[in-house]
Structure 1
Amino acid sequence: MKIIIAGAGNVGTHLAKLLSGEKQDIILMDEDDEKLEKMGNNLDLMLVNYSPTSINGLKEAGVAGADLFIAVTPDESRNMTACMLATNLGAKKTVARIDNYEYLLPKNKEFFAKLGVHSLIYPEMLAAREIVDAVKMSWIRQWWEFAGGALVLIGTKMRETAEILNVPLHELGGRNIPFHLVAIKRGNETIIPNGNDSIKLNDIVYFTTTKKYIPYIRKIAGKENYADIRNVMIMGGSRIAVRTAQYMPDYMRTKIIECDFNRCNRLTELVDDDVMVINGDGRDVELLLEEGIKNIEAFVALTGSSETNILACLAAKRLGVTKTVAEVENVDYISMAESLDIGAVINKKFIAASHIYQMMLDADVSNVKCLTFANADVAEFTVKGGSRITKAPIKDIGLPKGATIGGLIRNGEGIMVTGNTQLQEGDHVVVFCLGMMIKKLEKYFN
């Protein structure tokens, strides 16, 4: 597959690094030579030093034979223009990064497709949705729904109160167990567990289950005493903060702290009247106390500085906040954020890359999610008639090492799987795998 990535910024370079190891034909283009030089020579990709809106540059990159053209520069207009040019020069499919919510409205989809922009991605909006999912429950690190919530993925950290510590997994309940433990993040290692593995203190454990059994997961994880979230404080008035405030459930009360006075005035126009906007420095402990942080259950740090966000969450934890979420765009800081135990981490690059990666797949995949703390991905495949995955029970299919099936949705109902489960045409199957292995799993579902 020939893929051209226009824009060597954070999203573009991260995506290029992910895809370069998959034996795809990757071309990264940018007019900034310094950005391209930072990519180094150890990646299997081609660098093109041209503007993505240059017709000659696009021809030089070989856009006429491109299966996918991805424009992810910081400039929305350039991305749209680059996609229009790429389509007219022969690219089969285009994706543009945008920051205008109106473009995503269904009535505009056909209009943009006619112009040559086939798909749109708005990383800030995707990030906001993940933040809202993260703060809905104080005791989880990650939450993701499949097929409208018929099956859910929960990631939570094991504390001393967990009932399932140091117990071999095969002793946790047998065939009728109402969850599937799909992965364990332990230190810097992600484990796809078997029956002989056990959960250790401070592991981040990923479960798939149905909504009916979420209270049971909460109980065995020892998280029943965690307070429900009703009050949220957001530090930083970024676009992500605005979207997050807009997506918050009605029962949650939200405050935004922003140090720029003019931005505060703008925020009051962008968010609902019930969202309180405060002009001040979110790092000021006295201000936080004055604004009632002792009564806040969730603190979300969304400034442009990863370091500031991490430190702010640490301060909020010390002031008694149960749930903290930090936007950490510097990938090198993510493991540090986990070691400091700051809570959930949001990274726009990972989120955008997951959505774009989904577009590359030949199989019918409706969702792809990159798990921020774990070097792992989750995908929702739809089983095709006659595909390899339907030929035998799951235990006899021969899935590659590092992959496991977390559950399935059949006729709208979430179902746990065992090795003897036989998949059928039309099933929605949740697959958990290490690294970027999803492409290798396509042959089982096609």
Structure 2
Amino acid sequence: MKVLICGAGQVGYGIAEQLAAEQNDVTVIDSSPQLVSAIRDTLDVRGYVGHGAHPDVLAQAGADEADMIIAVTLYDEVNMVACQVAHSLFNVPTKVARVRAQSYLAPHWRDLFSRDNMPIDVIISPEIEVGDMVLRRLALPGAVDTVEFADGGVAMVALTCDEDCPVVDTPLNQLTDLFPDLQAVVVGIHREETLFVPHSDDQMLAGDLIYLIASKDHVRRALGIFGREETETRRVVIAGGGNIGWYVARRLEEMNANVRVRIVESSRERAIEIADSLPNTIVLHGSALDQELLREADVPNADTLVALTNDDKVNILGCVMAKRLGCGRNLSLLNDTSYPAFTHTLGIDAHVNPRAVTISRILRHIRRGRIRGVHSVQNGAAEVIEAEALETSPLVGKELRLVDLPSGVRIGAIYRKGKFIRPQGETVIQPDDRVIIFALKEQVRKVEHMFRVSIEFF
């Protein structure tokens, strides 16, 4: 696939890195010579310095032969115009744009991005994507990571095994014997910087990060079995009233009147603005690192502090201070991919990486075959993929015990006509089934191939 990426920042670099590693033909455009030079030196991609929406720059970068354009510069208008130019002048089939400003995304302007107006196939809003991820974490406070598949019928949950976890040192096959009716499957384990797909006789050890695929109705029970069931969030303090913080507070107001929300915002003007727009939220003006202000926000009695400022260091320190003041849990927004390695040591319960969330959303539209959902984990070390089974798929029509799955791939769930099916040796995948798979990055292409439309299909 020939992919043109406008923007060589964190997201653009991450997408280019992922696609180049999979032998795609990738070209990156950015107005910064330093960023273009850095991406050329470190990745097997072409780089051009220039304005991503200018026709001559797009022509030089080979837009006339591109299968897809992904516009992720810092500016919404550049991203939108780049897609428009790619469509009108170069007939690029698939166009993806990152759009941050919520005004463009208001429901009553939904026709703006239609093919007759501004033909953009996929709009990525990092604020909404990250905000929804934060809301899912608040709904399942015992989980480190969570994402939904199969129209919400299946969930992937990541959780840590502590010393007092009831199932530590228990082989996975014994876990099945102990809880035969539990609709959940352990598909991945991250242990001492290594991510692997476990075998049935592998044990879970203290300190492991476990990736679990479960029926939506069994997620809380699974968290309880692993000793991670925690009380529902009722009192939330949000550090940072930017677009993400405001979105999370607004959604909490809309979804649950019983949740009490307070926001700490450093800008006086922004604090006044969000206070006027959120009638049920208390807004305090000041620094998230001011202990007296945190006490005034009732952080010592809060269930969760959510740190969503634009500064990773403020988010980390704010979470640490909140814990020391008595806050039950914390969740931090982290842009720097090097920070998550030591967050657990500092007492940070969970974190969200906007780059990873955005890349996961974009990968869904890059993956070939009948791919309906993708979630990247551990900075791209593996992917959780939801795919639709076709009649020509090699997985269809035979018992799973007879299917030669690549090493590093595990089927976590089959979703058929609204019903969760836990995969077992005698399970047979049928056409139109939704199959949720955990795959290490080196096996992702093989998974794609399993669900690709064959000529025999026609």
Matched residue, 1:221: 226
Matched, 1:161 2:164: yes
Matched residue, 1:199: 204
* TM-score, with structure 1 as normaliser: 0.94
Structure 1 pair 202–373 and aligned structure 2 pair: CA distance change class (3 A): farther
Matched residue, 2:99: 98
Answer yes or no: is the 8 Å Cα contact 2:72–2:79 preserved in 1. yes
For residue 410 of structure 1, what is the amino acid of its counterpart? R
Answer yes or no: is the 8 Å Cα contact 1:161–1:223 preserved in 2. no
Matched residue, 1:236: 240
Matched residue, 1:245: 249
Between 207-216 and 260-269, report the one with greater CA deviation. 207-216
Answer yes or no: is the 8 Å Cα contact 2:406–2:443 preserved in 1. no
Matched residue, 1:68: 68
Between 339-348 and 169-178, report the one with greater CA deviation. 169-178
SS of structure 2 residue aligned to 1:38 = helix
Which residues in structure 2 correspond to 1:143-162 (within 5 Å)? Answer: 143-162=146-165
For residue 229 of structure 1, what is the amino acid of its counterpart? T
Matched residue, 2:421: 415
SS of structure 1 residue aligned to 2:140 = coil
Between 94-103 and 4-13, report the one with greater CA deviation. 94-103
Instruction: List alignment gaps of at least 5 residues for structure 1.
Output: none
Instruction: List alignment gaps of at least 5 residues for structure 2.
Output: 453-458
Matched, 1:324 2:325: no
Q: Deviation digits for residues 262-321 of structure 1, max 9, x if unmatched?
A: 111121234x20011110111112221222112101111111111221121122222222
Structure 2: distance between partners of 1:329 and 1:8: 15
Between 106-115 and 242-251, report the one with greater CA deviation. 106-115
Structure 2: distance between partners of 1:107 and 1:372: 37
Answer yes or no: is the 8 Å Cα contact 2:40–2:47 preserved in 1. no
Structure 2: distance between partners of 1:103 and 1:367: 24
For residue 64 of structure 1, what is the amino acid of its counterpart? D
For residue 201 of structure 1, what is the amino acid of its counterpart? A
For residue 24 of structure 1, what is the amino acid of its counterpart? N
Structure 2: distance between partners of 1:373 and 1:310: 19
SS of structure 2 residue aligned to 1:182 = strand
Q: Which has the higher contact order (CA 8 A, sep 6+)?
A: 1
Answer yes or no: is the 8 Å Cα contact 1:134–1:140 preserved in 2. yes
* TM-score, with structure 2 as normaliser: 0.92
For residue 298 of structure 2, what is the amino acid of its counterpart? G
For the aligned residue pairs, the C-alpha RMSD in angstroms reads 1.9
Matched, 1:291 2:297: yes
Structure 2: distance between partners of 1:266 and 1:199: 48
Between 96-105 and 121-130, report the one with greater CA deviation. 96-105
Structure 2: distance between partners of 1:395 and 1:47: 46
Answer yes or no: is the 8 Å Cα contact 1:161–1:221 preserved in 2. no
Which residues in structure 2 correspond to 1:46-61 (within 5 Å)? Answer: 46-61=46-61
Quote how far apart the aligned CAs of 1:109 are: 5.0
SS of structure 2 residue aligned to 1:89 = helix
For residue 68 of structure 2, what is the amino acid of its counterpart? L
Matched, 1:259 2:266: yes
Structure 1: distance between partners of 2:407 and 2:276: 52
Size of the aligned set, in residue pairs, is 444
Q: Deviation digits for residues 88-145 of structure 1, max 9, x if unmatched?
A: 2221111111013354456655542223322211011100000000011221112222
Q: Deviation digits for residues 41-62 of structure 1, max 9, x if unmatched?
A: 2311000111112211010001
Q: Deviation digits for residues 186-214 of structure 1, max 9, x if unmatched?
A: 23111211112111112121222223333
Structure 1: distance between partners of 2:33 and 2:135: 38
Matched, 1:85 2:85: yes
Answer yes or no: is the 8 Å Cα contact 1:407–1:416 preserved in 2. yes
Structure 1 pair 43–285 and aligned structure 2 pair: CA distance change class (3 A): same
Q: Which 4+ runs in 1 deviate beyond 6 A?
A: none
